[in-house]
Structure 1
Amino acid sequence: MNTNRRKFLRQGGQFAAGLMILPALACKQTKVIGGNAITGDLDRFGIQLYTLRDQMPKDPKGVLRKLSTYGYNTIESYEGKQGMFWGMTNKEFKSYMDELGMKIVSSHMNIDNDLQRKAAEAAEIGMDYVICPYIGPQKSMDAWKGVCDKFNKAGEICKKEGIKFAYHNHAYSFKAFSGMIPHDYLMDNTDADLVKHEMDIYWVVTGGADPIDYLKKYSGRFTLCHVKDRLKTATADETDATCVVGTGMIDFPKILKVAKENGMEHFILEQERYDNTTSLGAAEAGAKYLQKFKYA
């Protein structure tokens, strides 16, 4: 998620090289997806619809159908102008997902606006998570404490409605502040039963932290992740540097294996910038990459 999205809410060579280190995760079963024979033993992987933010508002059903042909079988939505169900009711959206052989498992949303109703609607159709996508850097320790209290309360509301609550990180929470690391503070001061976390792997790396260290240190707390790659040419301070998954510098074969071993439930592709492809092109390339993993 980049600056534009925050405002809204408040390439192949590396791929081939990556396959050389996939044996432990490699797939053995052949499936036909979108008319193509795909080698892969996969139960499910998903995509955050923000990746298709240029296409979804124009033709939600058409884009979702196209995603299903790429091999995606889980969806993470976000709360756009048409709502997280894209102009449909929750039950209409679920019915269309069923038709496509897909499932909506989570959605990013504004948790400060009518959370109980939205959590109830999400739970009613079997979604797993309601997710806070952004809180922004805080200016004091009291403010960070307030965030923890807010998340615990959101978790309680969601639990009562029969759904889980999670927070999606950005780079700022891995930067030292007042003698502590904000993300560690969030993990240590929220109820593990009420507050889960969606690890955006790109933003952990961009923040200067090691995703594997966090997955092991807080085993079982990160239950969703954004599989989002970072340009190999990006400088340390460059934030807008996402690229087609599998063409960047992030070691997904290693990270996703550790993630699965430590309680990761949902693996969700996301991409924010496009140099040599379209959003649909990035989604298709990402699906082909993820089909090489045996992680679910």
Structure 2
Amino acid sequence: MTDRRKFLRQSAKYGAASLLLPAWACGSGGESPEAGAETTQTEAETAGGTLDAFGIQLYTVRDVLPQDPKGTLRKLADYGYKQVEGYEGAQGMFWGMEHTEFKDYLDELGLTMVSSHCNIDENFEEKARQAAEIGMEYLICPHIGAQDSKEAWQAVVDKFNQRGQTCADNGIRFAYHNHGYSFENVYGIVPQDFMMENTNDSVDYEMDIYWVVTAGADPIAYLNKYPDKWKLCHVKDRMTDAAADEADASTDLGTGSIDYGEILAVAQDHGMEYYIVEQERYDNSTPMESAEVDARYLQQLRFG
């Protein structure tokens, strides 16, 4: 494990007809803070550890990134992000640049590309080679979709093991990013558990905490159940007034219902390495304004 992987060592239709939120989902709701304003801190935010570094999934700023990739990245660095997680847009994972050129620009900004979501069914070996050449650590399957049988989920496991081996051959890691569908009980299995118990050691997992909550599952229970399997997470809040079956309900960090102070404290103790902001909905702001608010929330967060 490299030094930069040790940045944190201190200190409804998913689920049921109604979503009963446990203690970790009773967080710091309220209005979105104004730029430069102090954020009210909960007890979980006033003691314990902090994040020495955190990243952003570039899909968060998908509406502005294609028009000005370099300028957008520079602003994200100014907000305090130290890491980025990419995705494959129309201009590819490296936004019209060669992978080495992209890395050089990130180096200039003090940013590290730790991972990227990508299409794992096209040119995967080339993607793994390029990722390794610029020091990335993960290629991630962002979505696999609900399957129609237990046998189909077994085929997913087999594919993930193969992609994991390809990544291992290139000196990097492979991971899967969950959505809500993998927590449904179908065909006598819970697919998320089935995958985590049957993929081999070349496969890690990225917990999208928002989707765990939206599915009616408990992120702390899953962190405890599969320690050291969740290596990355998406930190994304859920609107306090969202109906249980509302999927599109992400909001600025610190204004929703998820108590990240408690969840990240458990994550820290169970092998989590990367903490990555993602936001998909903007009701009262622009993507860049939300990215700034999200960064400020994580800078101030205290847990443990």
TM-score over 0.5 for the pair = yes
Q: 2:44 touches 2:303 (CA, 8 Å); kept in 1?
A: no
Q: Tell me the equivalent position of 2:213.
A: 205
Q: Tell me the equivalent position of 1:80.
A: 89
Give the match's secondary structure for 1:156: helix
Counting only pairs closer than 5 Å after superposition, residues 156-235 of structure 1 correspond to structure 2 as 156-191=165-200, 193-235=201-243
| 1:43 shift after superposition | 2.4
Check 1:14–1:279 CA distance in 2 against 1; reply closer, same or farther (3 A cut): closer
Q: Tell me the equivalent position of 2:297.
A: 289
The structure 2 residue matched to 1:119, chosen from 116, 124, 128, is 128
Residue 23 of structure 1 pairs with residue 46 of structure 2? yes
Give the match's secondary structure for 1:47: strand
Kindly report the root-mean-square deviation, in angstroms, between the aligned alpha carbons of the 2 structures: 1.6
Q: 2:207 touches 2:230 (CA, 8 Å); kept in 1?
A: yes
Q: 2:30 touches 2:256 (CA, 8 Å); kept in 1?
A: no
Q: 2:85 touches 2:116 (CA, 8 Å); kept in 1?
A: yes
Q: Tell me the equivalent position of 1:279.
A: 287
Counting only pairs closer than 5 Å after superposition, residues 5-24 of structure 1 correspond to structure 2 as 13=31, 16-24=39-47
Q: Deviations over 1:96-153 (max 9, x none)?
A: 0010011000000000001010011001000010000000000001100000000000
Check 1:250–1:295 CA distance in 2 against 1; reply closer, same or farther (3 A cut): closer
- Whole-angstrom distance in 2 between the partners of 1:60 and 1:128: 22
TM-score (norm 2): 0.86
TM-score (norm 1): 0.88
Q: Which runs of 5+ in 1 are unaligned?
A: 1-10, 28-41
- Whole-angstrom distance in 2 between the partners of 1:83 and 1:21: 39
Residue 93 of structure 1 pairs with residue 116 of structure 2? no
| 1:178 shift after superposition | 1.5
Q: Which runs of 5+ in 2 are unaligned?
A: 1-28, 34-38
- Whole-angstrom distance in 1 between the partners of 2:41 and 2:188: 38
Give the match's secondary structure for 2:119: coil
- Whole-angstrom distance in 1 between the partners of 2:147 and 2:97: 36
| 1:180 shift after superposition | 1.7
Give the match's secondary structure for 1:214: helix
Residue 138 of structure 1 pairs with residue 147 of structure 2? yes
| 1:14 shift after superposition | 7.9
| 1:22 shift after superposition | 1.4
Q: 2:251 touches 2:282 (CA, 8 Å); kept in 1?
A: yes
Q: 1:18 touches 1:246 (CA, 8 Å); kept in 2?
A: no
Q: 1:14 touches 1:248 (CA, 8 Å); kept in 2?
A: no
Q: Deviations over 1:136-172 (max 9, x none)?
A: 0000011000000000000000000111000000000
Q: Tell me the equivalent position of 1:242.
A: 250
